[in-house]
Amino acid sequence: MDIYSVVKNRLLQLCEEKKMSIHKLAMESAVAPSTIKNILYGKSKNPGIVTLKMLCDGFGISIVEFFNTEKFANLEQEIK
Residue-level pLDDT at 79: 79
Residue-level pLDDT at 10: 97
Q: Predicted confidence band at 28 (pLDDT cuts at 50, 70, 90)?
A: very high
Q: Beta strands of the chain (E only): which ranges?
A: none
In angstroms, how far apart are the furthest CA atoms of the chain?
A: 39
Give percent of the chain with pLDDT exceeding 70: 100
- Give how far Cα 18 sits from Cα of 3, 12, 44, 70, Å: 22, 10, 23, 20
Considering the entire predicted model, what is its pTM? 0.92
**Sequence-separated (6 or more) residues with CB below 8 Å from residue 30:** 54, 58
Q: Report, as an integer, the average pLDDT of 1-27.
A: 96
Q: Report, as an integer, the average pLDDT of 57-71.
A: 97
Q: Where are the domains of the chain?
A: 3-73
Q: Report, as an integer, the average pLDDT of 48-59.
A: 98
Please state which CATH class domain 3-73 belongs to: mainly alpha
